[in-house]
Amino acid sequence: MQPAKGGAGRHRAHRTAGGEFRALTFAASRPTS
């Protein structure tokens, strides 16, 4: 499970595995579809 390439999510995921999960939760919390 990898976040969209080209964004803060990828950078955070690189630093910490929890970053990707947090990014997903953040995106889900703020539906900007």
Q: Model-level pTM?
A: 0.28
pLDDT at residue 1 is higher than 70: no
Residue 10: band (very low, low, confident or very high) from pLDDT cuts 50, 70, 90: low
Report the C-alpha gap between 11 and 5 in whole angstroms: 9
Return all residues near 8 (Cβ < 8 A) that are at least 6 apart.
23
pLDDT of residue 13: 47
Q: What is the pLDDT of residues 14-28, one digit of tens each?
A: 556 666 677 777 777
Q: Are 14 and 7 in contact (CB under 8 A)?
A: no
